[in-house]
Amino acid sequence: MRTQVCIIGGGPSGLLLSQLLHLKGIDTIVLERQSRAYVLSRIRAGVLETGLCNLLRKAGAGERMDREGFIHGGTLLAAEGRKFRIDFDGLIGKSVMVYGQTEVTRDLYDARDRMDGKIIHDVDGTTIHSADTDAPYVTFVKDGTEQRVDCEWVAGCDGFHGVSRKTIPDSVLRQYEKVYPFGWLGILSETPPVDDELIYANHERGFALCSMRNANLSRYYIQAPVDDPLGKWSDDTFWDELRRRLPAEAADRMVTGPSIEKSIAPLRSFIAEPMRWGRLFLVGDAAHIVPPTGAKGLNLAASDVHYLSDALIRLYDENYSAGIETYSANALARVWKASRFSWWMTSTLHRFPTQTAFDQNMQEAELSYLENSRAAQTALAENYVGLPY
């Protein structure tokens, strides 16, 4: 097989990149380790920045999002038993869209199907060859037979555990990591959300988040030890602990019900540099991981797709190669800023194992300052809705 761009990974970033390139006449093949059904079964966050929403519309995959998604013009922060609102619309004239990542992926699959996009699922043993030459190629095993894709560029959209980042020599790759000493215990329940907007809560017992997927499907999280057995957390135990960490007026009107999904996710900040080696590009989680506080993971992957698709389109349309040369620097500049914001939110809202009463009071003072400072609220709003590309 031969293509212009071989994309490893059929999640939302790989599908979005393939769709944007296809619309400009650039041929792609997407290789995905899992089945399509498995990819569409993964439950992920769904707070979309303005930039990602615009990219989905540009890709012809935003119609259902605009029809069914929930526009949020602000978010709520809580501490010391009270909550206050950050007014995105009033402060900066922008908003975010609440629309599940699973639905984004489904819409992108549908868009690729309409254009007969080539996506090969259930591949194994994917290996990138000669990425530091002018003739890269990718091999993989499908149904017991090894196959080869010759290409001009390779886009690694295959996540933290994929092969793409591991292809870059250790002598070239620099990796930065911070592992947080707690996890997020999350449940999905068929109950109406406790509020029309998200609530991020700081509490001396630990962080809590009230989120939603739609009008009758809620996603709730509490900070918990990452190694806690799920069996320790019955539904009733979870709901009781969540109520303790929320302002009384929110806790009192919360509708509870059986969980339909429950899991504990670890938190880490991770960045790999550079994001380009020869004709191999890293995109999304292959290059960086952020804690879910602030919902930057999918949105950062989308900004990588923006920079890379623009660079490749200009290369093929105009023979303009500067975007290729600056892809890593441009993407990383935004990655570090978004990672800073996620780190700040995580540090401000969570209780750390060694935290003292002084530390807790400093967090509450930080949130009190935020509550009463328009300048501080504007900075949060700018980062939450997404810094410009």
Active site residues: 72, 200, 292, 296, 384
Amino acid at 104: V
- Cα–Cα distance for residue pair 273/268, rounded to 1 Å: 17
What is the biggest distance separating any 2 CA atoms in the chain, rounded to whole angstroms?
63
Sign of dihedral through CA atoms 185, 272, 295, 126? negative
Amino acid at 138: V
Distance between alpha carbon 278 and the CA centroid of its chain, in Å? 26
Give 272-295 as a 3 state SS string.
EECCEECCEEECHHHCEECCCCCC
- Cα–Cα distance for residue pair 122/145, rounded to 1 Å: 12
- Close Cβ partners of 40 (under 8 Å, ≥ 6 residues apart): 102, 105, 106, 109
- Close Cβ partners of 143 (under 8 Å, ≥ 6 residues apart): 122
Collapsing DSSP to helix, strand or coil, 244 comes out as helix
Task: Decide: residue 146, CB within 10 A, 0-12 exposed, 13-18 middle, 19+ buried.
Answer: exposed
